[in-house]
Amino acid sequence: MDDDLEDDFEPLGEEDPLDAENFNAIDYINRQFPNEASLGGLGLFINQLKAQEHDIEEGIKNAVRRQAAFGRRAKADLGDAKLAIRELFERIKAIKSKAEQSEELVSDVCRDIKSLDVAKRNLTLTVTVLKRLVMLVTALEQLRSTAECRHYQQASSLIYAVEELSSHFQELSHVARVADLLERKAAVFSDLKQQILDDYMCLHGGIGSATRLEQLPEGWGTAAAKCVDAIGPGMKREVVTQFCLRLLEGYKDIFQPPKEASGLETAERRFAWLKRTLREYDDKYKSQFPESWRVPCGLCDLFCHVTRQHLVEILDTTHHMVDPELMVRVLLKSIEFENELARKWATETPDDDAITLDAGHLNSAMPVLKYPDVLAAKTGRRSSTSSQTEAATEKAGADHFAPRFRGIISECFDAYLGTWVRHEEKQLLEVLQALTAADKMVSQENEENEEDEEVLQRYLYKSAPELFAAMRGSMQECSRFSTHNTLFDIFQVFRKVMSQYASKLSSLIPAAGHKACLDVEGVQAVCCAIGTAEYCDETLPLLEESLIKIISADFQDRIGFHDEQELLRSVVNRANEALVQSVNCSLDDAFNSMNRTNWAAFSQDVGDHSAFVGDISERLPKQFEPIAAHLSKIHYRFFCDKFVQSFVTRFVAEVHKCRKISERGAQQLLLDTALIKTTLLEAPVVAGHGRQMPTAYSNYVLREMGKAEIMLKVLSSPDVDAASITGMLGDSSDDPVVQQLLALRAGDSGDASSSGSMEQQFRHEADRIAAAAGVPSIGSTMNYLGDALNKGAKASEDLKKISGDMKKNFQKLGFPSFGMKKSGHAG
């Protein structure tokens, strides 16, 4: 129908513009009638359109008529289809009903067949069970008779048969007759087990043992072993345990606490007893036991557990009185014994050669044998055989007996090693006291770095290497039996010993307030303290590394001597300060002489150095010589740096204490300063027998002494006032540096009313600078009065010429602020 409609509405032309999607009526008319001349065909064009419209209307009418006819036809066809479907549904219902009837018939037939099949299967099962029941009864009776006759070879085969048959009746144990049969089987097995145990126990002798042995057939041991293997691994473990416990009865009679031979001093006799017993076993009993039973291994395991229990009792009561050295000897002997047993009875467990001291890893194959006599001790009698064998039979399931020997005895010492740690601490402190009481100075040369200029000969106390050797000995001794808590406790002892040693080194150094000059022996002691502290500071990391290598991983992050190294470094710093203080004290007379000179009235010709400079030049090399001889090169350089820093500060302070300095006096001091600078550069080299100082030292001396030279150049210039200095410096007019320089000049001052207070300020400030420099105050030696301060004059042309240099260097002088108010000056 749709195809017919499509035929009715076919387009008039294949390229009819009226069918275009973007049809535009105006454009279309314009194309048909582009000009007035074309309007002549307008009537024809309209007639064509009307004819086309008429054709379309006719097509639509025809399509509507056909559509109505087809609708009626489709409705009739749909009614016919529904009727056919109803007929088909009725036929399906009939077929389904017949299928259900057939299924019921088949089910009835199958039900009868299944019933017959179940009956057959039950009948077969019943016959099979009855046969097995008869076989089990027969086998039990045969097993009982062969066991009574001790025909263990046949009994072993019957045991396998009985076990196999009885396994089929476990699900029927609720049946009375089956339950009785299983109880009978258990009774037969129990009697057989007890009989075999008694046969093995008669090997030890006793009442009736001889008669019993005579009743045993030849080769009964091999046959009985097969019977035991047939019963199961629990029976084998029980036989081995009972036999070994009987062997250990003699051991307990001798070594059970509090027997005379139970002490630690007789510990080696315990191990000797085991060796004799093992030889006795090889001679008497070895032929009665299969090699696979590893009876000697079981004997050693039980021996270790019993020995451990004995040692626990002994240490628990006597650990506070026992000799620590004896305890450690016994511990090491125990470890050696355990390692020997572990090598002899090696298993497939990895890391057999390592000494394992961790608790809680006892062999799970024999959990009831850790302390075989604990239950007997609780009941007031020796360990019996019944309770232990029953527990072993129930819990032992491993066919291969492989106990853990390492740590089985030695672990019991862990809780009591604190006694040894305290003993070792006492020993090390005594060693420290003995070494420091008669200490000697020794020389140490670094042979591996002979070409290294920084590492040369140094002096230290003999006690330091010997003390470290003693600590290494303690560490190695402890590592032989413990790498856990005990070794960490020893590390704590090392820290305590090193702290005390640092305190003893510190006691060799004079106190901070000591103002006297050290003699040669005192200098040597301080230098040796530096060398010893340096040696300890270098050796402690090596000792720390050795400890980390052997200690357990749980403690490695807690190993460190950082606090002790800080103590040693503080000793080195204090010692250097003491040496600097000593050399400074030796220069007191020279600086006193400098301050006694009336520099304000100094009028001599400038040509030769002052007497105090010669004294300084003479004293410094002598003071440096013993220091250079006993310090390493690097520490000697450090001392020289510290001394120059202190000396320059003191020298500036001493210049300030001179109060008033004339131009000629400043020129003389400038000359003296140049010679002092040369002395500071040459004295360390002379004292070190030509050992050159680094360039940094020379630069520091030149820079710091240059500050004093600049100050003296200003003081040696004629006629200067605050305004001219301020203009040259570019600073404010009340700059304290400017005020200080004006106050030092003998010819420049404020009015008379301010001169006294300014002089007191200079005296006070000079004392403060001297105290800050760590040198003795010499204010008491200033026993003369200065001239009155005069008014300043204009700056000279010469002073203006050096203003450029003064602007660059005055800020480097580092003069302290006096806090003075501006004084009036005449221009």
Q: What is the pLDDT of residue 373?
A: 37
Helical (H) or strand (E) element with 442: strand 441-444
Range of the domain at 300: 232-415
Select from 415, 441, 456 the last residue of a domain.
Answer: 415
Which tokens sit at 370? 């850790």
Whether 506 is covered by a domain: the verdict is yes
**Would the CA dihedral through 207, 273, 399, 409 be positive or negative?**
positive
481 C-beta neighbours (distance < 10 Å), count? 20
Percentage of the chain exceeding pLDDT 70: 77
What is the domain count for the chain? Answer: 3
Residue from 756, 731, 730 nearest 817 by CA: 731
- Please indicate, yes or no, whether residues 638 and 715 belong to a single structural domain of this protein: yes
CA distance 623 to 819: 38
**Residue 492 three-state SS:** helix
Whether 255 is covered by a domain: the verdict is yes
Report the pLDDT averaged over residues 338-349: 81
Residue from 317, 356, 495 nearest 421 by CA: 495
Per residue in 749-803, pLDDT tens?
Answer: 433 333 334 444 444 444 554 444 444 333 333 332 233 223 333 333 433 343 4
**Residue 22 three-state SS:** coil
- Please indicate, yes or no, whether residues 399 and 425 belong to a single structural domain of this protein: no
40 secondary structure, DSSP code: G
- Please indicate, yes or no, whether residues 288 and 431 belong to a single structural domain of this protein: no
Q: What is the CATH number of the domain that holds 471?
A: 1.10.357
Whether 800 is covered by a domain: the verdict is yes
Which tokens sit at 98? 């017949």
The answer to whether residues 226 and 284 touch, using CB atoms and an 8 Å cutoff, is: no
CA distance 534 to 458: 10
CA distance 9 to 496: 116
DSSP letter for each residue of 791-818: BP-PPPHHHHHTHHHHHHHGGGS-PPP-
Strands 441-444 and 458-461: antiparallel
- Please indicate, yes or no, whether residues 488 and 478 belong to a single structural domain of this protein: yes
Phi, psi dihedral angles at 816 (to 5 degrees)? -70, 150
Whether 370 is covered by a domain: the verdict is yes
Q: What is the pLDDT of residue 479?
A: 94
Q: What is the pLDDT of residue 746?
A: 65
Q: Which amino acid is at 285?
A: Y
Q: What is the pLDDT of residue 778?
A: 32
- Please indicate, yes or no, whether residues 643 and 753 belong to a single structural domain of this protein: yes
**108 pLDDT exceeds 80?**
yes
- Please indicate, yes or no, whether residues 341 and 428 belong to a single structural domain of this protein: no
- Please indicate, yes or no, whether residues 544 and 422 belong to a single structural domain of this protein: yes
Whether 199 is covered by a domain: the verdict is no
Q: What is the pLDDT of residue 662?
A: 83
- Please indicate, yes or no, whether residues 304 and 328 belong to a single structural domain of this protein: yes
CA distance 270 to 257: 13
**Residue 560 three-state SS:** coil
The answer to whether residues 17 and 23 touch, using CB atoms and an 8 Å cutoff, is: yes
Place of tokens 């103002």: 515
Per residue in 593-650, pLDDT tens?
Answer: 888 888 888 877 776 778 888 899 999 999 999 999 889 889 899 999 999 999 998 9
- Please indicate, yes or no, whether residues 261 and 399 belong to a single structural domain of this protein: yes
CA distance 69 to 684: 135
CA distance 763 to 745: 15
Place of tokens 């557990």: 305
Per residue in 456-488, pLDDT tens?
Answer: 567 899 999 999 999 999 999 999 999 999 999
Per residue in 644-674, pLDDT tens?
Answer: 999 998 988 888 888 788 888 888 888 889 9
Q: Is 589 or 385 the better-scoring residue by pLDDT?
A: 589
Q: Is 710 or 371 the better-scoring residue by pLDDT?
A: 710
Helical (H) or strand (E) element with 458: strand 458-461
**Residue 443 three-state SS:** strand
Give the predicted TM-score (pTM) of the model: 0.65
Q: What is the pLDDT of residue 38?
A: 82
Cα–Cα distances (Å) from 364 to 369, 389, 410, in that order, read 10, 16, 19
Q: Is 794 or 707 the better-scoring residue by pLDDT?
A: 707
The answer to whether residues 341 and 298 touch, using CB atoms and an 8 Å cutoff, is: no
Q: Give the range among 149-163, 703-717, 808-822 with minimum mean pLDDT.
A: 808-822
**242 pLDDT exceeds 80?**
yes
**Residue 404 three-state SS:** coil
Q: What is the pLDDT of residue 25?
A: 83
Q: Is 729 or 621 the better-scoring residue by pLDDT?
A: 621
CA distance 456 to 485: 40
Q: Is 399 or 696 the better-scoring residue by pLDDT?
A: 696
Select from 368, 383, 415 the last residue of a domain.
Answer: 415
Place of tokens 């300890």: 536
Highest mean pLDDT among 462-471, 515-524, 688-697, 706-715: 462-471
Which tokens sit at 695? 């360039």
CA distance 77 to 601: 151
- Please indicate, yes or no, whether residues 519 and 599 belong to a single structural domain of this protein: no
Whether 334 is covered by a domain: the verdict is yes
Q: Which residues pair with 461 in a beta bridge?
A: 441
**267 pLDDT exceeds 70?**
yes
Residue 817: alpha-carbon gap to chain centroid: 53
CA distance 478 to 578: 40
Q: What is the pLDDT of residue 337?
A: 94
**102 pLDDT exceeds 60?**
yes
Residue 767, C-beta contacts closer than 8 angstroms, at least 6 positions apart: 657, 777, 779
CA distance 752 to 761: 15
Whether 662 is covered by a domain: the verdict is yes
Q: What is the pLDDT of residue 408?
A: 92
**7 pLDDT exceeds 80?**
no
Query: Residue 728 — very low, low, confident or very high, per pLDDT cuts 50/70/90?
Result: very low
**57 pLDDT exceeds 50?**
yes
Q: Is 108 or 308 the better-scoring residue by pLDDT?
A: 308
Whether 826 is covered by a domain: the verdict is no
Phi, psi dihedral angles at 791 (to 5 degrees)? -70, 145
Select from 396, 415, 434 the last residue of a domain.
Answer: 415
Place of tokens 């901070």: 512
- Please indicate, yes or no, whether residues 682 and 776 belong to a single structural domain of this protein: yes
Which tokens sit at 371? 């302390």
Per residue in 482-535, pLDDT tens?
Answer: 999 999 999 999 999 999 999 999 999 988 777 788 898 999 999 999 999 999
**377 pLDDT exceeds 60?**
no
Per residue in 269-302, pLDDT tens?
Answer: 999 999 999 999 999 999 889 999 999 999 999 9
- Please indicate, yes or no, whether residues 351 and 252 belong to a single structural domain of this protein: yes
Percentage of the chain exceeding pLDDT 90: 40
Query: Residue 53 — very low, low, confident or very high, per pLDDT cuts 50/70/90?
Result: confident
Per residue in 378-434, pLDDT tens?
Answer: 333 333 333 443 444 444 444 455 688 999 999 999 999 999 999 999 999 999 999
Per residue in 530-555, pLDDT tens?
Answer: 999 999 999 999 999 999 999 999 99
